[in-house]
């Protein structure tokens, strides 16, 4: 039940069906807040109470000043300090702060919960996108967009609920009081100034948005270059290109600096114009109030009240430009995050897809055609079968399409023509989760999490005990190495496992797959990074593990596949030879030539 509570509202179906623009972004965000509607209502009640208290402060201050307006020698001078009014004034100040804090406290759960659910939905959606998306993405820029989008949820809710809406309520209350208490001129001057102020702010801020957008894009570019360079630290060192990388990063920072200066210049222009409008309105209001006091139509308390109202009203308006800009930017950042959610899944479960039911684990490729790009076909009508409990090996030169077979079997991509079946079930008709749960792979290029050895091995079956993790490590002939390290299984492997050698990483990957223990195994150059002694030992272990399992072996070293039930020789996306080891040698074809070259 708790897992379901974290799922996102069903507001997005496809990019074409989504509302666009700022209002469209708000519409998409509202369902996330609707879950906390009672908290929103309570928070708004506290906000109204805070504003009524705040507006009451100048009114009480007027009465306090008028109560102190006594002539020298007046008998009431002995009671000049109106304790009741002073206590009420202090109470109103305290009440304003109290209601404001209660509002923020009540609404904090809604804000944090909305940000959490949206971030979780984006995270889950990114994992659901195809391998093609993740091969093309720029990690630094994408993570920056997600970070800004998450922060933007907080900013948008905070600025709109805590700043814009309260200011609008206070403006309405103040205009009403000024019109009722005095004359229409006070309300007219205030309203006119507000209209000019808002129009000026919106026009200038809209003009500045282009510079802000450019600033964010340059920030993402600089961040992407920095992350990419640090992830490829070893490559930078190999080619002695530290200065080159620093120059590229500095070039991005210089563009970013210019954009920041342009943004700051236009911000100063906005602030100066706002202050001019506010100062003009204040002078006009105080001039009229002063004239009223001189003419006897108003008291000193009235003058103080008008001044208090103006100060209370224009202090939040001072930040209107910043608030409007931040809200616009927050909407832009949230929209970018929604765009990630709008990326359609290239590989998705078919409607009504059922879990894969594995009885024996027989795998069959039927006339499979596939291309990563339409102009560059990879596989041309590939057909073969791996009987249940048997091992089939695929060999051939690099680029012949061997690893593509593993990606298609895992359903990282869907075939354009043909079908792949497991125990007679077409893999596009079953759930991806059940399919991948039934397959284990030892990839050629092993990438580990920046965590402990135990975590990386245990990732094969989350929740496995330490005993099971160590048993898998022993089977992969890496237990002794791990036990010899000072931290043992708590040894951290570093970013992408760079603290381990290639052979050690590959043995961790083997242990991880052995722990998963699925009915179908894929070994994609599983021992390519191992020395001869360890290769023989692990090869024997892999053969033992592969007993009674369906195994697809992708190999360059032919010596590792001589016992295969069938060997497929691929070239340019086609199977050019097939048979057992002895049969292929006897044919004297491509396989025999590869064997001869490797034997030499």
Q: What's the mean per-residue pLDDT of the chain?
A: 77
pLDDT of 80 above 60: no
User: Residue 527 — pLDDT band, cuts 50, 70, 90?
Assistant: low
**Three-state secondary structure call for residue 551:** strand
pLDDT at 77: 47
Answer yes or no: is pLDDT of 58 > 60: yes
Rounded Cα–Cα distance for residues 125 and 347 (Å): 12
Three-state SS sequence of 313-345: HHHHHHCHHHHHHHHHHHHHHHHHHHHHHHCCC
pLDDT digit string, tens, across residues 249-305: 888 888 888 888 888 888 788 878 888 888 888 788 778 878 777 777 777 777 777
Q: Provide, rounded to the nearest whole percent, the portion of the chain with pLDDT above 90.
A: 0
**19-342 is a CATH 3.20.10.10 domain:** no
Minimal CA–CA distance to 570: which of 445, 396, 428, 425? Answer: 396
Residues spanned by CATH 3.40.50.300 within the chain?
A: 353-438+518-600, 448-517
Least confident segment among 218-222, 310-314, 379-383:
310-314
Confidence category of residue 84, pLDDT binned at 50, 70, 90: low
Query: Which DSSP letter does residue 18 get?
Result: S
**570 has which bridge partners?**
575
Alpha helices in 160-299 (DSSP H): 165-181, 184-231, 233-238, 242-295
**CA distances to 116, 311, 523 from 501, in Å:** 38, 67, 19
Tell me the CA distances in angstroms from 2 to 33, 115, 330, one per residue in order. 18, 17, 29
Q: pLDDT tens digits, residue range 533-576?
A: 666 766 776 776 667 788 898 887 787 788 888 888 888 888 88
327 with 164: CB under 8 angstroms? Answer: yes
Contact 159, 330 (CB under 8 A): yes
CATH 3.40.50.2300 correct for 448-517: no
Put simply, whether the predicted model's pTM sits higher than 0.85 gets the answer no
pLDDT, one tens digit per residue, over 429-484 is 888 888 888 888 888 777 788 888 888 888 888 888 888 888 888 888 888 888 88
Residues of the chain with CATH 1.20.1560.10: 19-342
Task: Return the pLDDT at 82.
Answer: 57
Question: What is the third-level CATH fold of 353-438+518-600?
Answer: Rossmann fold (3.40.50)
Question: What gap in Å lies between CA 279 and CA 310, rounded to an integer?
Answer: 10
Task: Assign 3-state DSSP to the chain and report helix, strand, coil percentages, each to 5.
Answer: 65, 10, 25
pLDDT of residue 412: 84
């Amino acid at each position: 039940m708790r897992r379901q509570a974290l799922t996102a509202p069903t507001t997005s179906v496809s990019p074409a069906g989504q509302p666009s623009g700022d209002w469209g972004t708000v519409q998409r965000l509202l369902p996330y807040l609707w879950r906390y509607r009672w908290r929103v209502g309570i928070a708004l009640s506290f906000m109204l109470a805070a504003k009524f208290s705040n507006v009451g402060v100048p009114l009480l201050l007027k009465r306090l000043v008028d109560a102190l307006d006594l002539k020298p020698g007046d008998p009431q001078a002995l009671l000049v300090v109106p304790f009741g009014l002073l206590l009420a004034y202090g109470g109103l100040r305290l009440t304003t702060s109290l209601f404001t804090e209660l509002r923020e406290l009540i609404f904090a759960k809604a804000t944090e919960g909305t940000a959490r659910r949206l971030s979780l939905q984006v995270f889950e959606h990114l994992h659901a996108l195809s391998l093609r998306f993740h091969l093309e993405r720029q990690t630094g820029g994408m993570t920056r967009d997600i970070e800004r989008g998450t922060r933007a949820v907080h900013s948008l809710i905070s600025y709109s609920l805590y700043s814009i809406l309260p200011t609008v309520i206070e403006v309405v209350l103040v205009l009403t009081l000024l019109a009722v208490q005095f004359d229409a001129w006070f309300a007219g001057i205030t309203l006119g100034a507000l209209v000019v102020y808002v129009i000026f702010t919106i026009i200038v801020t809209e003009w500045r948005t282009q510079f802000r957008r450019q600033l964010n894009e340059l920030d993402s570019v600089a961040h992407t270059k920095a992350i990419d360079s640090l992830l490829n630290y070893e490559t930078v060192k190999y080619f002695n290109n530290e200065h080159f990388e620093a120059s590229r990063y500095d070039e991005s920072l210089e563009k970013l600096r210019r954009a920041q200066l342009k943004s700051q210049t236009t911000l100063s222009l906005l602030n100066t114009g706002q202050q001019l409008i506010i100062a003009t309105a204040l002078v006009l209001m105080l001039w009229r109030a002063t004239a009223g006091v001189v003419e006897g139509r108003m008291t000193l308390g009235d003058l103080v009240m008008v001044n208090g109202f103006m100060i209370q009203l224009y202090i939040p308006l001072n930040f209107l430009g910043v608030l409007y800009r931040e809200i616009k930017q927050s909407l832009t950042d949230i929209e970018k995050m929604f765009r990630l959610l709008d990326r359609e899944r290239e590989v998705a479960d078919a409607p009504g897809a059922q879990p894969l039911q594995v009885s024996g684990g027989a795998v069959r490729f039927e006339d499979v055609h596939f291309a990563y790009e339409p102009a560059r076909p990879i596989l041309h009508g590939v057909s073969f079968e791996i009987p249940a409990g048997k091992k089939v090996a695929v060999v051939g030169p690099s680029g012949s399409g061997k690893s593509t077979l593993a990606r298609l079997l895992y359903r990282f991509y869907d075939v354009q023509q043909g079908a792949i079946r497991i125990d007679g079930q077409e893999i596009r008709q079953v759930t991806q989760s059940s399919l991948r749960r039934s397959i284990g792979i030892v990839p050629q290029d092993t990438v580990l999490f920046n965590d402990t050895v135990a975590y990386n091995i245990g990732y094969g079956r989350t929740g496995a005990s330490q005993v099971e993790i160590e048993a898998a490590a022993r089977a992969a002939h890496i237990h002794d190495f791990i036990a010899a390290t000072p931290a043992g299984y708590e040894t951290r492997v570093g970013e992408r496992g760079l603290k381990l050698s290639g052979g050690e990483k590959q043995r961790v990957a083997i242990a991880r797959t052995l722990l998963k223990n699925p009915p179908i195994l894929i070994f994609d150059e599983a021992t390519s990074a191992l020395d001869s002694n360890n290769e023989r030992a692990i090869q024997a272990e892999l053969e033992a593990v592969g007993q009674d399992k369906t195994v697809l072996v992708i190999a360059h070293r032919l010596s590792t596949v001589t016992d295969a039930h069938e060997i497929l020789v691929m070239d340019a996306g086609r199977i050019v030879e097939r048979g057992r080891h002895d049969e292929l040698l006897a044919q004297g074809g491509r396989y025999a030539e590869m064997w001869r070259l490797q034997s030499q």
